[in-house]
Structures are given as C-alpha cells and as structure tokens.
A = this chain, B = another copy of it.
Amino acid sequence: MDDSSLAKPPRMDAWVRLQKASTAVLDRVEAKLKADGYPPLSWYDVLLELRRADQKTLRPVEIEKRILLAQYNVSRLIDRLVAASFAEKLKAPNDGRGVVVRLTSHGEELLSSMWPAYEAAVKQEFSEKMTDADADDLMRVLGKVLP
C-alpha cells in the first residue's frame, strides 16, 4: 500500500498500518464474540445507543448519525434487531413518515451479557498490549483525522 519508489513516507506507512492493525484487531474481537454465540458488534453498537438514549428510543436517522452506517444499512439492521426481538419499531409521534426504535428488555439482557465477553476480547487483543499513555497517543492522533 505504499510506493517503494518513495524513500521515507512515514505518514503513508502509518496509514497502511492503521488499516492493517484496526482490521486485524476487529476481526479477532469479532471472532471471539461469535465463538461465544454473540451477534456482530454492529448489533451491540445500535443497542448501546438505544440504551443511552432518552426513553431508550431513537429515530433511525439518529442512529445513522451516531454510528457509521448508511441509511439503507441502518434500516435493515433495525429489522434484524426487531426480528431477534432485541428492539421494537413503533410509529413516530408527530411525524407520520418515521418510526422510532426502542430497546426491549431482551435487548438490555443482551447488552448486559455481551459486555463482559466484549470487554475481555478487547482487553486481550488490544488493551493488554499497550499502556494508558499509548492509548492517549492514539486518541490524540486519531482525533485529528476524525470527521
């Protein structure tokens, strides 16, 4: 992913490493969760946003803004969550176009039971391998490239 004709492109190297490292760690974390019978992290992300939200309820368009997913993708992910009864869809008050998505108690249970497995996987594949100062460095530098 670099060009060997360039002598010393440390930032291009950093870009390549960013992609490789984040993918590698994510793959391994997801694999552990799946091995324990848990759904993908994208499910967890949405349910967590719902739990944080007022009334444990969000409009799909709000979910779209909070997590990094395209509109049609959010729409389908919600349908899967509803099909698994981790969330429910209700008509939005004051807006005939929209719906609201609400976390169910079954969804709260998933969040609770999944968190320890998730935390352990991230610890083992990521946190354990660095210091808090390293993490601060990551936060600082990656903060510069966020949208």
Contacts and interface: CB of A to CB of B under 8 A. Distances in A.
Interface of A: 1, 3-4, 10-15, 17-27, 41, 44-45, 48, 52, 68, 115, 119, 122, 125-127, 129-130, 132, 134-147
A15 B48 contact: no
A119 B12 contact: yes
Contacts of A139: 10, 13-14, 17
Q: Is the interface of A mostly helix, strand, loop or mixed?
A: helix
Contact of A127 (B11, B125, B130): B11
A25 B106 CA distance: 35
Contact of A14 (B20, B45, B135, B144): B135
Contacts of A142: 14, 17-18, 21, 138
B18 A22 contact: yes
Contacts of A129: 144-145
A8 to B, nearest CB: 9
Contacts of A52: 4
A23 B139 CA distance: 15
A84 B4 CA distance: 25
Contact of A44 (B1, B27, B146): B1
A32 to B, nearest CB: 14
Given A48-B1, A126-B145, A144-B134, A18 B25 contact: yes
Contact of A135 (B13, B19, B125, B147): B13
